[in-house]
């Protein structure tokens, strides 16, 4: 699944609301964690995910990419 918020609508709580909904539904379905990735060429996204409790767990770069993927994990409340 790809989730994005239009740049003109950022910083209005929409992204946080979307992530809250995803995390709540995942926990309801029995998941204990969520993970996602973004790229180093999107520092605003990296800061957003870190700000809502995601922890960086790794990075991946490939010769054909012009960026590095950053992987994040968040433990969900039980």
Q: Band of the pLDDT at 49, cuts 50, 70, 90?
A: very high
Question: In order of start, what are the domains of the chain with their CATH numbers?
Answer: 7-75 (3.40.630.30)
Cα distance between residue 71 and residue 75, in whole Å: 14
Give φ, ψ of 39 to 5 degrees. -125, 155
For the stretch 52-63, pLDDT in tens is: 999 999 999 999
Direct distance between the N- and C-terminal alpha carbons of the chain, in angstroms, rounded to an integer: 23
Cα distance between residue 28 and residue 2, in whole Å: 21
For the stretch 5-16, pLDDT in tens is: 999 999 999 999
Cα distance between residue 65 and residue 36, in whole Å: 18
Q: Band of the pLDDT at 29, cuts 50, 70, 90?
A: very high
* Location of structure tokens 């968040």: 74
Q: Residue 43: what pLDDT?
A: 96
Give φ, ψ of 59 to 5 degrees. -140, 155
């Amino acid at each position: 699944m790809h989730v994005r918020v239009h740049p003109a609508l950022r910083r209005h709580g929409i992204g946080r609301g979307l992530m809250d909904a995803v995390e709540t539904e995942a926990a309801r379905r029995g998941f204990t964690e969520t993970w996602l990735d973004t790229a180093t060429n999107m520092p605003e996204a990296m800061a957003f995910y870190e700000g809502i409790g995601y922890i960086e767990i790794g990075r991946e770069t490939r010769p054909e990419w012009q960026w590095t993927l950053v992987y994040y994990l968040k433990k969900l409340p039980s």
